[in-house]
């Protein structure tokens, strides 16, 4: 005897395989900020990287772009369960940022103007997985979405994509950033639903 379950079958067909478990699709672009939006001009913007040797490399806006800007097409996933597919960004790959940086530490703490922090393992930043982005959808990033520049690490939940990014400090051990101190997962992989502790 054949058991036919039309409801189940059609729901399976509608589910987009790009959608991680527990997520729904959205067309708009929600704004989620834990505090006020800092105002940073591209003239005063600096990006700094500090290693365990206390060597600090600092780039201006122009110097940073000279590292090489590329276009990124990707899906993004917020832990509050919205996902947005096929977004387009422009930015500098973290591979370029770390190209001449000498570090043995396995963890990065991302720092933002305004004080936000988030921890990301180096394994999730290198290998074409993360960018410092300054354009979204063909236009400069708006301040509420992190302009002038934000981290984009789309294979992790979007709280890891720090807005108003200003630099990275290398760490030997994985230490919690802002949301991670407040109950969010240390890693944040949407495909295994690493949402909270
Ligand atoms: N500096 C900073 N970056 C941040 C946040 C924040 O509050 N401050 N919120 C995070 C969270 S929880 C999410 S979901 C995304 C939201 O980005 P959006 O406002 O561009 O959608 O930014 C992340 N980056
Ligand atoms: Mo979020």
Q: Domains of the chain (ranges plus CATH)?
A: 59-197 (3.90.420.10)
- Residue of 49, 78, 72 whose CA lies nearest to 128: 72
Q: Give the count of alpha carbons within 13 A of 124, CB side only.
A: 22
Beta strands 24-25; 82-93: pairing state: parallel
Nearest ligand 1 atom to alpha carbon 113 = 1
pLDDT digits (tens, 9 = 90+) for 29-83: 999 999 999 999 999 999 999 999 989 999 999 999 999 999 999 999 999 999 9
Rounded CA separation 37/25 (Å): 26
Give the distance (Å) from ligand 2 centre to CA of residue 184.
10
Of the listed ligands, the closest to the CA of 31 is: 1
pLDDT tens-digit readout, 101-130:
999 999 999 999 999 999 999 999 999 999
Atom of ligand 1 nearest to the CA of 34: 7
The pLDDT of residue 35 is 95
- Sorting pLDDT into bands at 50, 70 and 90, what band is 24? very high
153 pLDDT above the threshold of 90: yes
Name the β-bridge partners of 118. Answer: 110
Ligand 1 center–CA 159 separation, angstroms = 5
Per the structure block, which two tokens stand in for 49?
């990287």
Among 180, 157, 118, 152, smallest CA distance to 23 is for 157
Phi/psi at 134 (5° precision) = -130, 5
31 in contact with ligand 1, CB cutoff 6 A: yes
> How far is residue 107's CA from residue 110's CA, in Å, rounded to a whole number?
10
Question: Which ligand 1 atom is at minimum distance from the Cα of 35?
Answer: 7
In this structure, are residues 25 and 16 in contact, taking their beta carbons and an 8 Å threshold? yes
DSSP 147: T
Look at residue 9 in the predicted model and tell me its pLDDT.
Answer: 42
Decide if 56 contacts 100 (C-beta within 8 A).
no
End-to-end CA distance of the chain: give it in Å, rounded: 46
Reference 173, options 104, 124, 79, 127; nearest CA is: 104
Q: Which of 45, 113, 117, 146 to mutate to test the pocket of ligand 1 (most atoms within 8 A of CB)?
A: 146
- Beta strands 69-77 and 117-121, pairing class: unpaired
Q: What is the distance between the alpha carbons of residues 18 and 186, in angstroms, rounded to a whole number?
A: 23
pTM: 0.94
- Per-residue confidence at 10, pLDDT binned at 50, 70, 90? very low
Of all ligands present, the nearest one to the C-alpha of 76 is 1
**Is residue 53 a contact partner of residue 71, using CB atoms and an 8 Å limit?**
no
Determine the atom of ligand 1 nearest the C-alpha atom of 151: 24
């Amino acid at each position: 005897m054949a058991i036919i379950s039309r409801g189940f079958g059609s729901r399976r067909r509608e589910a987009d395989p790009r959608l991680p478990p527990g997520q729904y699709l959205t067309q708009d672009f929600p704004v989620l900020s834990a505090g006020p939006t800092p105002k940073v001009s591209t003239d005063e913007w600096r990006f700094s990287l500090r290693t365990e040797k206390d060597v600090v490399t600092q780039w201006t806006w122009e110097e940073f772009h000279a590292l090489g800007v590329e276009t990124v097409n990707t899906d993004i996933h917020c832990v509050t369960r919205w996902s947005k597919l096929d977004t387009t960004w422009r930015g500098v790959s973290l591979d370029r940022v770390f190209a001449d940086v000498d570090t043995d530490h396995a963890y990065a703490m991302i720092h933002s103007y305004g004080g936000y922090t988030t921890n990301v393992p180096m394994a999730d930043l290198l290998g074409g997985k993360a960018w410092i982005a300054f354009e979204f959808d063909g236009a400069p990033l708006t301040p509420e979405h992190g302009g002038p520049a934000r981290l984009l690490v789309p294979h992790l939940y979007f709280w890891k994509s720090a807005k108003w990014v200003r630099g990275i400090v290398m760490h030997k051990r994985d230490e919690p950033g802002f949301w991670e101190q407040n109950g969010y997962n240390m890693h944040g992989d949407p495909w295994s639903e690493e949402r909270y502790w």
